[in-house]
């Protein structure tokens, strides 16, 4: 984007560097982080989740290497203890599963989801997973979990924990190998 925009009949358009103008509602703008967590070093691999932007960014040190849309807890500013809000803070990937069951409350018991792919647990009751049943990413809709498109979930899974040990579906991540996940407002 060039930074130039126009509003026509209450619709905002942004100019692209290639020339065409696009409706602002048709794309997601990811803002580069200006302040990184204190634990970040040149070798640190970590994940940044922005609830406000509904994005997930993979970092290698201070360099962003991949960005995608997510769907977090439905209430962006709520208390995770009392409602459908994703907990905020710094976590670490504790467990990985190629497939795992999804609690009905994550989809407001609207339908039955038996198993979801590419599951990374970051805290008790909070997981990143492939939401194959969701029609769009980028909208807060779950209870506590963070849903990604299946292809993005596979990429994040492989980047964070590698391949599953032969014949295994799920395993605990050794503490020294855990990737940090920062979930921020």
pLDDT tens-digit map of 105-128: 676 656 666 799 999 999 998 999
Burial class (CB in 10 A: 0-12, 13-18, 19+), 175: exposed
Which region, left, alpha or beta, applies to residue 19 given φ > 0 means left and ψ of -120 to 50 means alpha? left
Whole-number Å distance between alpha carbons of 65 and 52: 20
Q: What is the pLDDT of residue 111?
A: 61
Q: What is the CA radius of gyration of the chain?
A: 17
Please state the separation of Cα 96 from the chain's center in Å: 15
Mean pLDDT for 34-46 is: 94
Is residue 25's pLDDT more than 90?
no
In this prediction, residue 144 carries a pLDDT of 87
Is there a contact between 15 and 40 (Cβ–Cβ < 8 Å)? no
At residue 124, what are phi and psi to the nearest 5 degrees? -60, 120
C-alpha 59, offset from chain centre: 13
The average pLDDT across 39-67 equals 95
- Whether 75 shows a pLDDT value over 90: the answer reads no
Whole-angstrom distance, CA of residue 92 vs CA of residue 69: 20
How many other CB atoms sit within 10 Å of the CB of residue 121?
Answer: 22
Q: List the structure tokens of 49.
A: 């989740």
Mean pLDDT of all residues in 57-70: 96
The mean pLDDT of the chain is 90
Q: Which two tokens stand for residue 156?
A: 């994040």
**Position 80 pLDDT exceeds 90:** no
Residue 31 has pLDDT above 80, yes or no: no
pLDDT tens for each residue of 141-178: 787 899 999 999 999 999 999 999 899 999 999 999 99
Report yes or no: 141 and 111 within 8 Å, Cβ to Cβ: no
Please report, rounded to a whole number, the percentage of residues in the chain having pLDDT higher than 70.
93
Comparing CA positions, the residue from 175, 149, 162 lying closest to residue 54 is 149
Nearest CA to 181 out of 34, 39, 28, 31 is that of 39
Nearest to 17 by CA among 29, 1, 28, 35: 1
pTM for the whole structure? 0.85
- Supply the pLDDT for residue 141: 79
> Tell me, what's the pLDDT at 179?
98
- Name the percent of the chain lying above pLDDT 90: 68
Check residue 34 and give its pLDDT.
Answer: 85
């Amino acid at each position: 984007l060039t930074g130039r925009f126009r509003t026509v009949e209450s619709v905002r358009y942004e100019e692209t560097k290639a020339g065409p103008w696009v409706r602002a509602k048709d794309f997601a703008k990811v803002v580069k982080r200006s302040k990184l967590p204190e634990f970040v070093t040149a070798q640190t691999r970590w994940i940044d989740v922005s609830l406000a932007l509904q994005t997930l960014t993979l970092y290698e040190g201070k360099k962003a290497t991949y960005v995608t849309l997510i769907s977090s807890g439905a209430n962006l500013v709520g208390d995770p203890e009392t409602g459908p809000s994703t907990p905020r803070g710094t976590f670490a990937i504790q467990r990985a599963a190629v497939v795992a069951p999804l609690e009905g409350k994550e989809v407001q018991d609207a339908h039955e989801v038996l198993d979801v792919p590419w599951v990374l647990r970051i805290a008790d009751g909070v997981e990143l997973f492939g939401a194959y049943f969701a029609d769009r990413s980028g909208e807060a809709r779950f209870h506590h979990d963070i849903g990604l498109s299946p292809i993005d979930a596979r990429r994040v899974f492989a980047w964070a924990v590698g391949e599953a040990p032969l014949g295994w579906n799920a395993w605990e991540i050794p503490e020294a190998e855990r990737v940090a996940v920062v979930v921020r407002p």
